[in-house]
Amino acid sequence: MALRIIPPKPHAFVTTWLVGFTILIWLLQIVSGVDLWNPTPQQMLNWGANFAPITLGMREYDRLLINVFLHVGLIHLAVNMVSLLSLGYYAERYFGRLSFLTLYLLTGLCGSLSSATLSMLAASQSGVSASGLAPAPAVSAGASGAIMGIAGALLWVAWRPVAGLLPQYRLNFQSFATVIVLNIGLGVVVSGIDNRAHLGGLISGFVGAGIWHITATLPRTTALILRSLSVLAALAALTAVLLWATPVSCTVWPICTH
C-alpha cells in the first residue's frame, strides 16, 4: 500500500468533530446545572464519571467510555481541547481518520480501565478504615487518557516514522519524550491529576501505533484485516480485565450488584 505523506488532507475532520462533541457535552452539563468552574463529585457521577466502586463494583462499565467526554470545569475542558487539537490534527493526517478515531476511543478505554483497576488495587493495599471499608478513590473524568494515548502513538511516530515521510513533518523524539515525561511528572506532584489514566492511555497508544506501523507496508486488505483483529484482541483483553477486576472490587468495596 502507498504510505501516507503528511499532510494527505487539508482538514482533520475527526479531530474537529471530537472537540465539538466534547464541548457540546460540557455545555449540556452546564445547562443541566453542573457548576461552570468546580463541579461536585456527585454532579460528575450523575453524568457518568469514572468511579471504581461504581464502574467495577456495580458493573456500570459504560462509564469507562462516557467519562472520556466529560470535564471537571471550564479550565479542564480548555486545556484538554487545546491539547487534542494540537496533537489530533497531526495524528489524524498521519494515521488516517478511521485509525485515528479507533486509537482515540481504545486508548480512552484503556486509560479509564487503568484508572479504575489501579485505584482498586491501591485501595486493597491500604487496608480498611474505622468504618470497615477501604478508602474510596477520586472521581475521574476527562479526555486526558485518550489524549495521552494519541501522544503515545505520536511518540512511536517520532521514534519510527514511516518511510518516505518528508523531513519537515518528522517529530523530534527527544523533545516529544521530554514533554510526555514532564506531563507525567506534573501528575505526580500536583493533586487531582489522574496519572493512572494517563499511563494507561500512553502505553496503549504506543503499542497501537506500533501495530499500525508494522502493518503499514502490507497490502491494504491484509493491513485492514490485521488491524481489525488487533482491535478485537484489545477489546477481548479489556473484557478479561473487567471479568477479573469486578469480583476483586467486590471484596474491596462491598456494594456490588448481582
Q: Decide: helix, strand or coil at residue 166.
A: coil
Q: Nine-digit cell at 168?
A: 519537515
Q: For residue 258, is it within any domain?
A: no
Q: For residue 134, is it within any domain?
A: no
Q: For residue 24, is it within any domain?
A: yes
For the chain, what is the mean pLDDT?
A: 88
Specify the amino acid at residue 191. Answer: S
Q: For residue 21, is it within any domain?
A: yes
What's the pTM value of the predicted model, to 2 decimals? Answer: 0.91
| pLDDT beneath 70: ranges in the chain | 1-10, 127-136, 254-258
Contact between 107 and 205 under an 8 Å Cβ cutoff? The reply is: yes
User: Exposed, middle or buried: residue 49 (CB in 10 Å: 0-12, 13-18, 19+)?
Assistant: buried
Question: What number of other Cβ atoms are within 10 A of residue 182's Cβ?
Answer: 10
Question: What number of other Cβ atoms are within 10 A of residue 232's Cβ?
Answer: 10
Q: Structurally, how many domains does the chain consist of?
A: 1
Task: Read off the CATH number of the domain in which 159 is found.
Answer: 1.20.1540.10
| Placement of cell 470497615 in the chain | 132
Q: For residue 130, is it within any domain?
A: no
Q: CB-based contacts of 21: which residues, under 8 Å, 6+ apart? A: 69
Q: For residue 135, is it within any domain?
A: no
Alpha-carbon distance of 193 to 166, in angstroms, equals 36
| Placement of cell 488516517 in the chain | 96
Contact between 101 and 95 under an 8 Å Cβ cutoff? The reply is: no
Where b means 16+ CB within 10 Å and e means fewer, 105-121 reads: bbbbbbbbbbbbbbbbb
Q: For residue 132, is it within any domain?
A: no
| Region class of 132: left (phi > 0), else alpha (psi between -120 and 50), else beta | left
Q: Mind listing the pLDDT tens digit for each residue in 18-51?
A: 999 999 999 999 999 999 999 999 999 999 999 9
Name which of 2, 4, 6, 3 is nearest 169 in CA terms: 6
Contact between 160 and 174 under an 8 Å Cβ cutoff? The reply is: no
Q: For residue 158, is it within any domain?
A: yes
- Compute the residue count for the chain: 258
Q: Mind listing the pLDDT tens digit for each residue in 121-134?
A: 888 777 554 444 55
Q: CB-based contacts of 209: which residues, under 8 Å, 6+ apart? A: 95, 103, 152, 153, 154, 155, 156, 157
Give the structural domain span for 223: 13-125+141-252
